[in-house]
Each structure stands twice: as structure tokens, then as C-alpha cells.
């Protein structure tokens, strides 16, 4: 169940340290958006705009983001679409669906950036989430690793 049914948008240069619930922050300068999870859990959700990640549309009044936001690494595991400022619940995914999407995403990125989908960078030790700053978390989201 989504606690926030609508997101007002704010175009900003920098994403603020503290995200106000119900606000979608959009930074065109850094090609990214951030908002507090729409389920109400308070977790920060970042959606970078890249050829292989999310696309943002501004129609002069509202913002849409595609594809859906799947918060599979959060405890809430919420899943929704932001369409013209409305938050539309998209239903849960199984672990198998999530893993299949992650494989598809890795292959899409590898193809786009001219890399072999089988090539993977060396593993790096994970840091506790609280030790990660905004930009490090964003990079983690973009690359799928720390």
C-alpha cells in the first residue's frame, strides 16, 4: 500500500541531504532524481537518468519516470510507477523476477557501453549503508556495486 499517492516535483541543482516526503527532487544538472520512498518507510530512493536506467518526462506541469521504481534492496520492497505526478502501485515481484531483471539490466548496460556482459569488475568489500554518502549511494545504484 502506497502512503504517498502523489509526488510534487522540485527542480533543484543539488539533491538535498534531507528529503521531504511527497516531493520528487529532480536535478537536470546531475541527471538524477531522488525521493523518500512512497510506501512511507522513509528510505531514500534515487533514480539516475541514463540511456540504460530511468527516463524522466516533464510535460510542463507534471513529471513521469519510467520504468517503474522497484525498491528490491529496501526492507519494504515497494514497487511503483510515477506517472504525471501520481504514484501507481505496481505490485510485488518474486526474487526470481528481481534477479532476472538485474541480469537484463547488466546485459543492457554492457551492450550499451560496449563491454562483454560476462565481464565483471573485481569485487570490493561492502561498506555499511550508514557509511555511504549520497554520491556513493548514487554510484552504487548506477553501477550495481559499491
Question: What pLDDT score does 135 carry?
Answer: 61
Question: What pLDDT score does 91 carry?
Answer: 87
Per-run averaged pLDDT (10 residues), the chain, 146 residues: 91 96 97 96 95 95 96 93 96 91 91 71 45 59 60
**Contact 1/17 with Cβ under 8 angstroms?**
no
Identify the residue whose cell numbers are 556495486. Answer: 145
Q: How far apart are CA 11 and CA 28, in angstroms?
A: 7
In tens, the pLDDT along 117-140 reads 564 444 444 444 444 566 666 666
pTM above threshold 0.85? no
Question: What pLDDT score does 41 carry?
Answer: 94
Helix (H) or strand (E) holding 23: strand 23-27
- Measured from the Cβ of residue 145, the count of other Cβ atoms closer than 10 Å reads 13
State the greatest distance between any 2 C-alpha atoms of the chain, in Å, as a whole number: 44
Amino acid at each position: 500500500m502506497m502512503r504517498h499517492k502523489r509526488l510534487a516535483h522540485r527542480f533543484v541543482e543539488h539533491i538535498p541531504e534531507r528529503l521531504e516526503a511527497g516531493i520528487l527532487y529532480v536535478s537536470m544538472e546531475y541527471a538524477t532524481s531522488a525521493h523518500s520512498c512512497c510506501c512511507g518507510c522513509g528510505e531514500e530512493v534515487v533514480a539516475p537518468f541514463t540511456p540504460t536506467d530511468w527516463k524522466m518526462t516533464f510535460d510542463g506541469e507534471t513529471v513521469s519516470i519510467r520504468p517503474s521504481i522497484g525498491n528490491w534492496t529496501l526492507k519494504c520492497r515497494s514497487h511503483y510507477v510515477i506517472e504525471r505526478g501520481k504514484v501507481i502501485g505496481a505490485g510485488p515481484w518474486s526474487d526470481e523476477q528481481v534477479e532476472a531483471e538485474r541480469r537484463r539490466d547488466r546485459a543492457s548496460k554492457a551492450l550499451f557501453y560496449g563491454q562483454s556482459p560476462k565481464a565483471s569488475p573485481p569485487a570490493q568489500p561492502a561498506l555499511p549503508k550508514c557509511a555511504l554518502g549520497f554520491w556513493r549511494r548514487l554510484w552504487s545504484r548506477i553501477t550495481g556495486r559499491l
